[in-house]
Structure 1
Amino acid sequence: MSDTPETPVTETSQEPKPSYVKLAMRNMVRKRGKSIFHFALTTIGLLGTLVVLSYLTR
C-alpha cells in the first residue's frame, strides 16, 4: 500500500469539445418535431401573455 492519494487520470484529446450552440443545433435537427412544437408553444404563450397584459392595462 502506498501513502500517496490516488488522483484520477483524465484523458486529453486533441479535438476541442463542441460548443453549446453546436450541440443545441445538432439536437434540434435530430428532434425536429419536438423542437418545432416547443417553439410554437413558447410563441403562443408569449403572444397570449402580451395580449392579456395589453387588455388589462388599456
Structure 2
Amino acid sequence: MSQPSPVSPPPSYVRLAMRHMVRKGRTSLLHFSLTTVGLLAVLVGLAYLFR
C-alpha cells in the first residue's frame, strides 16, 4: 500500500505577490508607485471637491 503524500496548501496571495515583486524588480516598483500616487491624487481631489 502506498502512503498518500501530504498535500501542501497553495501559496498565499501575499507570498505570490512578493515573489512576483522580487522577480520583476523595477517594473513592479514603478507600477506600485504610480498606483500610490494615483490613489492619493483621487483622494486629495475628492477631499477638495467635498470640503
Q: Which structure has more helix as a fraction of its residues?
A: 2
TM-score of the superposed pair, with normalisation by structure 1? 0.61
Q: What runs of 5+ residues in structure 1 fail to find an aligned partner?
A: 1-12
Q: How many residues align?
A: 47
Q: Which runs of 5+ in 2 are unaligned?
A: none
Tell me which structure has the larger Cα radius of gyration. 1
**Which contiguous aligned blocks of 4+ residues in structure 1 show a shift greater than 6 angstroms?**
none
CA-based RMSD of the aligned residues comes to 2.0
Deviations 1:9-36 (A, max 9, x none): xxxx756343333222111101011111
TM superposition score normalised by structure 2: 0.67
Structure of higher RCO (CA pairs closer than 8 Å, 6+ residues apart): 2
Partner of 1:26: 19
